[in-house]
Amino acid sequence: MSQPKVILRNKFVKALMEKGGFSFTQACRAFDCMTGVIADGVVTGSQMRLGKVGALLPVRTGSRECHMGFRRTKDGVEQVKRVFAIGPRLRYRFKVFDKFLEKNNLDWFEEG
């Protein structure tokens, strides 16, 4: 499988300039504003809907214990039972809207 494509900041800024009619400075400010809103949403654990494309859905995982049966020392590895508490975590998954999938042909997307 090939390396996934990455869209970086410069592509967003270029699109804002070409499609949105922004100047470079305005496009940079718009990008910073957009990423700031997304960052605020992550901090508050909010669901974020991105136009007609899809939504970022928060997935909260509870606390759990992690057991480790060794410890590395300067002399090597020593067997020790250790228990670490991992606190609650927040992850995001992206849900593509069904209507977007119907309207767009996603050649790279294979079900199964």
Q: Is pLDDT of 111 > 60?
A: no
pLDDT digits (tens, 9 = 90+) for 58-99: 999 999 999 888 888 898 988 989 899 999 999 999 999 989
Residue 64: beta bridge partners?
86
pLDDT digits (tens, 9 = 90+) for 8-28: 999 999 999 999 999 999 999
pLDDT at 68: 87
**Residue ranges covered by each domain of the chain:** 1-44, 46-105
Q: How many Å apart are CA 78 and CA 76, to the nearest integer?
A: 7
3-class DSSP state of 52: coil
pLDDT digits (tens, 9 = 90+) for 27-60: 999 999 999 999 999 999 999 999 999 999 999 9
Q: How many Å apart are CA 25 and CA 12, to the nearest integer?
A: 13
Starting at the edge strand found earlier in the chain, the sheet holding 89-96 runs 48-50, 54-61, 89-96
pTM of the model: 0.70
